[in-house]
Amino acid sequence: MTPRTCSPAPPLDPALDPDEELARFASALGHPARVRILRFLLEREECFAGAIVEHIPLAQSTVSQHLKVLREAGLVRGEVDGLHVCYCADRVRLRKIGDLVNALTPGPTEPAPAS
């Protein structure tokens, strides 16, 4: 069976200059609870919202808000599955953030932006 992975590709705002884009992602990661949620989702490949709420010592509504922020940044996707909502971290998007950060400091591990 498929391990309940979320839909493959949400759109991404194309009209952002790189600084704004990076700032947007970083901003979404800029709260410990959100990092924690993200890490939790990454550990478990997928899970429904209730599990997250149980894992995080915050009110359900607060967790939902954080999930919304993560969703809007595209770091997380959620899709309704009957009664539950199944959330997944978007690894591709996360990779992209790492790339954006690494691109700031061209160095030994990052050959060159090149053409």
Partner DNA sequence: CAGCTGTATCGTTTATTGACGGTCAACGGA
Partner DNA sequence: TCCGTTGACCGTCAATAAACGATACAGCTG
Which token pair is 95? 């990779």
87/95 Cα distance (integer angstroms): 18
Beta bridge partners of 48: 86
If binding is defined by CB under 8 A, does position 20 make contact with a second copy?
yes
Asked whether the beta carbons of 31 and 79 are under 8 A apart, the reply is: no
Give the one entry of a second copy, DNA, none that residue 6 binds, where binding means its C-beta sits below a cut-off of 5 to 8 angstroms depending on kind. Answer: none
14/20 Cα distance (integer angstroms): 11
Task: Give helix 60-72 / helix 18-28 axis angle, nearest 10°.
Answer: 160
List the x/- string, 80-99, binding to a second copy by CB under 8 A.
---------x-x--xx-xx-
Which residues contact DNA (rule: CB under 7 A)?
Answer: 27, 30-31, 33, 48-50, 53, 58-62, 64-69, 78, 80, 82-85
Q: How far is the CB of 55 from a second copy (least distance, A)?
A: 12
Which residues bind to a second copy, rule: CB under 8 A?
A: 19-20, 22-23, 26-32, 34-36, 38-39, 42, 89, 91, 94-95, 97-98, 101-102, 104-105, 107
